[in-house]
Amino acid sequence: MKKSTLRIGTLILIISASAIVWAQKNKTPNIIFFFTDDQAYDTQKAYGNPNTKTPNMDKLVDKGTVFYRHYNTTAICMASRANVMTGQYEYKTGCNFNRGALGTKQWSTSYPILLRQAGYRMGFGGKFGFAISDDGSKTENKEGEIARHDFDFWVGGPGQTSYVTSQNKTLAKYAEKYPHSTRAYGAATIDFIRESTNKNKPFCMSVFFKAPHRPVKPDPIFDNIYKDTDFRKLPNYGRKAGEHLAPQSRMGRQYPRFFQWGYDKEESYQNALRKYNQLIYGVDYAIGMVLEELKRLKIDNNTVIILSSDNGYFNGSHGLGSKVLPYEEGSRVPLIIVDPRIKNDKKIKKTYALSGNVDIGATILDVAGIKIPSVYDGKSLLPIINKPNKQVRKSLPIIQVWGPKETHCLTVMDEEYKYIYWYFQNEDEKIFASEELFNIKDDPYEMVNLVEQSDYNLQLTKMRILYDEQLKHWKKEGVKRNGYEKYVVLFDRNIKWDQKK
Ligand SMILES: [Ca+2]
C-alpha cells in the first residue's frame, strides 16, 4: 500500500512538474524596455569602442541580437519618444518640442495602451518626454501627466526630470538608498517586477533613463570608473571633418557646441567623454540590478529585454556637439534585443539589417502576440532575430523639422546608402538647396559626399526615387496640424525656391 501511494505521489509530482514546464514554455513573455537618453552608438565595445566599460550591456550582447544599423527616425528626445511608443513617423504623430503634443488618437494605439488591453501589467519609469492633448498645446512640463493613468505602476516625471532622486516626486521614496536617480530607476523596476510576479501577471516595464542627457552630473560612486581612461576619437572627429558637409548642417546649435562643450581641446574632450560614459556606466549598473532580480525570481528565461536610446550624440564628430542632425553619430544608436525564448545556437548574433525607432513599438506588440495596427510605420524585428540575412524594411526616413528652419531636412536610407535633401536657401550668403549621398557600408563616417561623382548616378537616382516616395507618404498620411503640412512643399526637390518662399 505504502509503495503504491508513493508511486502515485511521484506520478502526480512528475505530471505537475511537466505541467509547470509546459505552462512556462507557453507563458506570455514579460518585456523590459531600457531606453536611454542621448546614448550614441559609439558607447559600447560591441559597437566598436574599446575604451568603454558596460559589463551588463555586454551580457545583453552575449545573449541577444545586436543591431548595427539602428536609427531614430527623428533624432531628438520628444519626437523620438512619441515615435517609439506609437510606432509612427513624426509627420504622423505631429509631436515635437516646438510643434505640439501627441494626439489622443495616436496614443490610443500606442504599445502601452494595447498591451494593457491585452492583460499586461504596465510600468513606466523616468522621462516620459511628451504631452498628450488634442488642443494643439504643448502643455509644457506636463509630459506624462495624462499618460500616467494608463499605467499600473508609475515612477515617471514631467519635463527633463532630475538626477537628484529626491527632486522627482514619484521616485522620492528611493532617495535615501539611491540619491542618484539612475540607480533609483533600477530599484523601482525591481519593485514593479516583484509586484507583478506576486499578482501572477505578465508585465511590461519601460525604463526611460535620464542618463546620459545633460546636465553632466554622473553618480559620484562611479567617479573612479574612467578616471585613467583616454578615449580615442572617431575618424570623423573635428571641425576639418565637417567642412565637406552641407552648410545648412552648421546653422544650428550643434555647431557652436563643439567649442561650448569643450570637444576642441584634448583635456576638456577627455573630461567630457569620461563624464558622458560615466553616466552610461550608471545605467549599466541599474540594468545589472534588474538582470540579477530576474534571475533570482527565475523569470529571466521568459523575459524579453530591449535596450536602445532616443537619439545619438556627436561628441565632436564633424566638429559638432549634441544630436538632431541625420548624420550617423546624431541619429544612429545601439539596439540590442534579448529574446530568451529562442535557443542561443539558432539566434542571429548581429545584423546589419536596417531598423528604426518606430520598429520598437511594433516589436513589443509582436512579442506580446498582439496584432500590429495598420497605422504603424514600424515593423516587428523578431523575424530578423530568427533568420539570417532577413530584412524587414527596404528604406527608412530621418525627419528633421526641429529648431532653426535652416537645418530642416529629410533623409532616406536603404541597406547601403544615405541620401539627405537640404531645402533651405539664402542666395546672399551663397547657400543653396543641396543633396548629400553617403555610402554607409564603405564610408561609415560620412567623409565623402558622392552626389557629384558620376559613377554614382544610378544610386543617386535610386535614392531620389525613395526620397520622393517618402515625401508622397508624408503628403498622404501626415497630420494636418502643428505646421507639418508645409513640408510637403518645402521638401519637394522639384519645386523652385522662389515658389517655396
Ligand atoms: Ca534625447
Q: Is 369 part of any domain?
A: yes
* pLDDT tens, position by position, 76-133: 999 999 999 999 999 999 999 888 899 999 999 999 999 999 999 999 999 999 989 8
Q: Is 25 part of any domain?
A: no
Q: Which domain holds residue 343?
A: 30-393
Per-residue pLDDT, 1: 42
Pairing type for strands 417-422 and 335-338 reads unpaired
360: CA distance to ligand 1 center in Å?
A: 16
Confidence of residue 65 (pLDDT cuts 50, 70, 90): very high
> Which of 358, 393, 428 is at the close of a domain?
393
280: CA distance to ligand 1 center in Å?
A: 13
146 pLDDT above the threshold of 90: no
Same domain, 471 and 327: no
14: CA distance to ligand 1 center in Å?
A: 51
Confidence of residue 384 (pLDDT cuts 50, 70, 90): very high
* pLDDT tens, position by position, 305-343: 999 999 999 999 999 999 999 999 999 999 999 999 987
Q: Is 21 part of any domain?
A: no
CA distance 262 to 272: 7
74: CA distance to ligand 1 center in Å?
A: 10
User: Grid coordinates 499600473 are at which residue?
Assistant: 152
37: CA distance to ligand 1 center in Å?
A: 4
Same domain, 179 and 305: yes
52: CA distance to ligand 1 center in Å?
A: 20
Number of other CB atoms surrounding residue 121 within 10 Å: 22
64: CA distance to ligand 1 center in Å?
A: 24
Instruction: Give the CATH number of the domain where residue 496 resides.
Output: 3.30.1120
475: CA distance to ligand 1 center in Å?
A: 27
Provide mean pLDDT across the span 139-158: 84
Same domain, 268 and 346: yes
CA distance 144 to 389: 39
Per-residue pLDDT, 99: 86
Same domain, 358 and 434: no
308: CA distance to ligand 1 center in Å?
A: 11
Same domain, 89 and 220: yes
Same domain, 73 and 212: yes
C-alpha cell at 61: 550582447
> Which of 367, 393, 419 is at the close of a domain?
393
432: CA distance to ligand 1 center in Å?
A: 30
Q: What is the DSSP string of 318-350?
A: TT--SSBSSSHHHHB--EEEE-TTS-GGGS--E
User: Grid coordinates 539602428 are at which residue?
Assistant: 70
Per-residue pLDDT, 4: 55
311: CA distance to ligand 1 center in Å?
A: 5
351: CA distance to ligand 1 center in Å?
A: 24
User: Grid coordinates 515658389 are at which residue?
Assistant: 499
Q: Is 64 part of any domain?
A: yes
345: CA distance to ligand 1 center in Å?
A: 35
Q: Ligand 1 is a single-atom ion; what residues have CB below 5 A from it?
A: 37-38, 77, 310-311
Number of other CB atoms surrounding residue 19 within 10 Å: 10
Same domain, 378 and 405: no
Q: Is 122 part of any domain?
A: yes
Overall number of domains in the chain: 2
CA distance 459 to 158: 44
Instruction: Give the CATH number of the domain where residue 318 resides.
Output: 3.40.720.10
Q: Is 179 part of any domain?
A: yes
Q: Is 6 part of any domain?
A: no
473: CA distance to ligand 1 center in Å?
A: 26
34: CA distance to ligand 1 center in Å?
A: 14
Same domain, 354 and 411: no
> Which of 325, 359, 393 is at the close of a domain?
393
Tell me which of 2 and 72 has the higher pLDDT: 72
Same domain, 255 and 377: yes
CA distance 487 to 76: 18
Same domain, 333 and 405: no
Q: Is 133 part of any domain?
A: yes
Question: What single letter denotes the amino acid at residue 160?
Answer: Q
Same domain, 413 and 389: no
Q: Which of 201-210, 304-313, 326-335, 348-357 has the lowest mean pLDDT?
A: 348-357
23 pLDDT above the threshold of 50: no
22: CA distance to ligand 1 center in Å?
A: 42
Cβ–Cβ under 8 Å, residues 34 and 307: yes
495: CA distance to ligand 1 center in Å?
A: 33
Same domain, 356 and 435: no
212: CA distance to ligand 1 center in Å?
A: 9
